[in-house]
A and B are shown apart, each in its own frame.
Chain A
Amino acid sequence: MAKGLNKFARSQLVVPLLALFLLIVYNLIRDIGFFSISIITNNDGDTVLSGNLISIINGASELAILAIGMTLVTASSRGQDISVGAAAAIAGSIFVNVLRGNQITITTILFAFLASCIVAILFGVFNGTLVAAFKIQPMIATLILFSAGRSIAYWINGGATPTVSSPLLEAIGGFIPGIPIPTPILIMILFGVLIWLVLKFTNLGLYTQAVGINEKSARLNGINAAWIKLLSFMILGVCVAIAGCVNVCRIGLINHESLLIDIEMDAILAVAIGGNSLGGGKFSLAGSVIGAFIIQALTITLYAMKVPSTAVKAYKAIVIIAIVVISSPIVKEYALKLRDKLFKKPAKITENSPESFSDGV
């Protein structure tokens, strides 16, 4: 038990979990009912769950999905993809345009999603090829699509912001009749489980980490490093397509200028807050997902505190600096030392009998 606790104390999830915990405690002190969940009947007459907790998790869905993909890209290629927002705008545009050309049924929605998925994966292949084959720094390689992506979306939409509406799409962006939990949360959970299964039943995790830590030696052990990097960008492509389509369903239209704007920075931030090194190598998807929740919880908290929306980013920055500094190795080391000092006092007494001391450790 003590050993397990010790292991947990060193785990990278400590700081993000603690931050999330503090955020929750702070909100509870501010307003004891902040996280209360009520059952209401919405405009469509469905009985659904409502409350700040639900909005936080619901609002973080796209970010959490993107953060998962971003974690894999970071781990394998030791860099970040800054084009996810722009690529999501493209994926969303494809989704809307396929739907507008057809009658909206479950089949056409699936077909439209598949189309946007393929396009997003192709853009992932584009980024991945630049990174894996041409050895371009990920941030530079993805800068291309970052700049061009929203313009491409503009062309696809013919310069307009086409709308789509159908009860089916509302079900995806909102609630499925009869199920009180927002659908984006379900999609996020489904995707999380899927990735978890992939990591469990393949060597994706091991290979990705090996490539991220030491590419040369991974190759000498028969791992195709370029392919692993490309694969991580393709998986991120899938994440982008899901996030883009879910967001379109939420709003009911595609606005290439504002769809998931700045989400790439939040996604990278979620990875970092989750205790993952942006220099690649070892990773924790759970950390990144918690990171996404922290960012969203922070945003909602600030809105609840009536902070003007333009000022929200500055407040967010302050909290994030704190989290990132606290989880830095220097502070961690210091905290561990402090803990040893505070809790290992009895050891001092046995100083004269080193044998028993070392046994105790």
Chain B
Amino acid sequence: MQNDIVLSMRKICKAFPGVRALQNVDFTLRNGEIHALMGENGAGKSTLIKVLTGVFPKDSGQIHIAGINREITVKSPQEAQNLGISTVYQEITLCPNLTVAENIFIGRGNYRFVNWRSMEKRTTEILAKLNIPARASQQLATCSLAVQQMVAIARAVDMDCKVLILDEPTSSLDEHEVAKLFSLMRELKSRGVGIIFITHFLEQVYEVCDRITVLRNGEFVGEYEIKDLPRVQLISKMLGKELDDISALQNRKASQAGSDATPVYEAFGLSSAEGTKAFDFKIYKGEVNGFTGLLGSGRSESVRTIFGADKVTGGRVRVSGKNVKIRKPKDAMKHGIGYLPEDRKQDGIIEDLSVRENIILALQVMKGFFRPFSRTEAEAFADKYIKLLGIKTASSDTPVRQLSGGNQQKAILARWLLTNPKYLILDEPTRGIDVGTKVEIQKLVLKLAEDGVSVTFISSEIEEMLRTCSRLIVMRDRNIVGELRDEDMTQAKIMHTIAGEAAQNG
């Protein structure tokens, strides 16, 4: 083992029933480096980390860690911690009702005699050393998310860690907080800690990391110096294909503006109990439009109103020119409207049900309470869409909870595609999923539009909307403040409209 290597994993294999999660994966971490572990959802990042931290036992392979001259087997997270491997997860796992000092020292050693004063003193030292803007006696809940994240890191570092694993630490932080976190990471790096950084944000990788290891389908693709691997190449390594697909998307978007035709869906003065102001909206056959605006501008509430997900308080609706009433989701479904909700976990998946049951659910409800699909029918539907969308699952019987985020999203997408909708509403379908699946979903949207399905596409990433939508509805403070199409659809123009500076051309 070289001197500067702090952790080396060789030929790690791990299989779950029906899935080979890891096959001969190598991973090397050096002293004082920030090492990005990249890959799509389901590539094996989490499994590798869980093997390393003792959550899962490995099937085969060797792990070496600096300072110990033999092969190690990590049996539990506690043992990993004792070996100097600490993990900070996406969701903060500290106790918000305790103080910062208590959080740093809880669960470490002797409880019979606790010297709070020395504990606070020690905490103050650690905080000062790492430049963390918090007081030792402060209750953790009163700190910002970023600071809480930093406290979790401080706790890990204080336990003499040689290897620090940061699993998506930035996903709930804003830009400013991310910057703070990065300076802490650099500080630790200069102290010789090896950091494994897992994230979906490419820019962050290029901002802070030294080296990248790419995994794909549970296999080791390669380890690269950051300067040797430009973004486009990184993406193509992750996907395993050359990526001019994304730019090819650019020119395919259908610019359907047949204003003389009857809209597929039309609303006049629609409003809901969740606080959307009355709005008018229409969408034509085969059109892709988007609702944009800042978080909380009412874009999600608007589409929820269209689907009848919230209590509709007023307005008229026409579907294909006919007056209809949409008061609850089932009404919307009957009129060929599908809705993929923003919050996949809360509103989308039914986690303990199988992938199959999740996929057929909406169609089954439309078919009726007294007419269940036979097992064979349901299986045929599920298998068709598992294949069509490339959902990675051990079988259609697997509980959907066991799938990775992107695959869960695909399962919900499959659920609505199966109903053969005329109008499909996708609220943040690409949130929290990897680049490859994002592109797949965008392509799918354009394909649907070509086939004559109308789609409303919402995304926090404006670029994504510019790529897919032919018309953008801009919202601010629960009001529609503008509508952009064709050459008006640029980042700058959207920003101006959101800010309310440019002339409104809705």
Listed in ascending order, the chain A residues whose CB lies under 8 Å from chain B are: 200-204, 206-207, 209-210, 213-214, 216-224, 281-282, 351-352, 354-355, 357-358, 361
| 324-364 of chain B: CB within 8 A of chain A | 328-330, 333, 339, 341, 346-353, 357, 361-362, 364
> Bound state CA distance, A213 and B350, in angstroms?
6
Instruction: Check B329 against A219 for contact (C-beta < 8 Å).
Output: yes
Instruction: Please name the 7 residue pairs, one residue from A and one from B, whose CB atoms are nearest each other, closest first.
Output: A222-B330, A354-B13, A358-B15, A222-B365, A354-B60, A361-B15, A214-B350
Instruction: Give min CB distance, A356 to chain B, whole Å.
Output: 11
Contacts of A203 in B (CB 8 A): 364-365, 368-370, 372
Given pairs A221-B415, A358-B20, 8 additional interface contacts (CB within 8 A): A202-B370, A203-B368, A209-B352, A213-B351, A220-B329, A222-B329, A222-B333, A351-B60
Contacts of A213 in B (CB 8 A): 350-353
> Bound state CA distance, A138 and B243, in angstroms?
55
Instruction: Check B353 against A221 for contact (C-beta < 8 Å).
Output: no
Instruction: Check B350 against A218 for contact (C-beta < 8 Å).
Output: yes
> Bound state CA distance, A121 and B11, in angstroms?
63
Name the residue of chain A whose CB is nearest to the CB of B14: A358
Instruction: Check B365 against A282 for contact (C-beta < 8 Å).
Output: no
Instruction: From the candidates B16, B59, B341, B362, name the one contacting A222 in the complex (CB within 8 A).
Output: B362
Contacts of B349 in A (CB 8 A): 214, 217
Instruction: Check A201 against B372 for contact (C-beta < 8 Å).
Output: yes
Instruction: From the candidates B60, B307, B353, B361, name the one contacting A357 in the complex (CB within 8 A).
Output: B60
- Tell me if B249 is interfacial: C-beta within 8 Å of chain A: no
Instruction: Check A206 against B361 for contact (C-beta < 8 Å).
Output: yes
Interface of A is mostly: helix
Q: How large is the interface on B (under 10, 10 to 19, 20 to 34, 35 or more residues)?
A: 35 or more
Instruction: Check A217 against B350 for contact (C-beta < 8 Å).
Output: yes
Instruction: Give min CB distance, B415 to chain A, whole Å.
Output: 8
- Tell me if B309 is interfacial: C-beta within 8 Å of chain A: yes
Name the residue of chain A whose CB is nearest to the CB of B13: A354
Instruction: From the candidates A214, A220, A281, A352, name the one contacting B60 in the complex (CB within 8 A).
Output: A352
Name the residue of chain A whose CB is nearest to the CB of B374: A200
| 1-56 of chain B: CB within 8 A of chain A | 11, 13, 15-17, 20, 23-24
Contacts of A355 in B (CB 8 A): 23
Contacts of B315 in A (CB 8 A): none
Instruction: Check A354 against B347 for contact (C-beta < 8 Å).
Output: no
Contacts of A218 in B (CB 8 A): 350
- Tell me if B232 is interfacial: C-beta within 8 Å of chain A: no
- Tell me if B192 is interfacial: C-beta within 8 Å of chain A: no
Binary A-proximity of B412-456 (CB < 8 A = 1, otherwise 0): 000100000000000000000000000000000000000000000
Instruction: Check B23 against A221 for contact (C-beta < 8 Å).
Output: no
Contacts of B370 in A (CB 8 A): 201-203
Instruction: Check A210 against B361 for contact (C-beta < 8 Å).
Output: yes
- Tell me if B61 is interfacial: C-beta within 8 Å of chain A: yes
Contacts of A352 in B (CB 8 A): 60
- Tell me if B366 is interfacial: C-beta within 8 Å of chain A: yes
CB<8 Å pairs between A and B, sample of 18: A201-B370, A204-B369, A206-B364, A207-B369, A217-B348, A219-B309, A220-B341, A221-B333, A221-B362, A221-B365, A222-B328, A281-B352, A282-B352, A354-B13, A354-B23, A354-B59, A358-B15, A358-B59
Instruction: From the candidates B20, B347, B357, B368, name the one contacting A220 in the complex (CB within 8 A).
Output: B347
Contacts of B309 in A (CB 8 A): 219-220
Instruction: Check B352 against A357 for contact (C-beta < 8 Å).
Output: no
> Bound state CA distance, A66 and B59, in angstroms?
47
Instruction: Check B329 against A221 for contact (C-beta < 8 Å).
Output: yes
Instruction: Give min CB distance, A163 to chain B, whole Å.
Output: 43
Instruction: Give min CB distance, A204 to chain B, whole Å.
Output: 8
> Bound state CA distance, A219 and B366, in angstroms?
13
Instruction: Check A354 against B24 for contact (C-beta < 8 Å).
Output: yes
Contacts of B361 in A (CB 8 A): 206, 210, 221
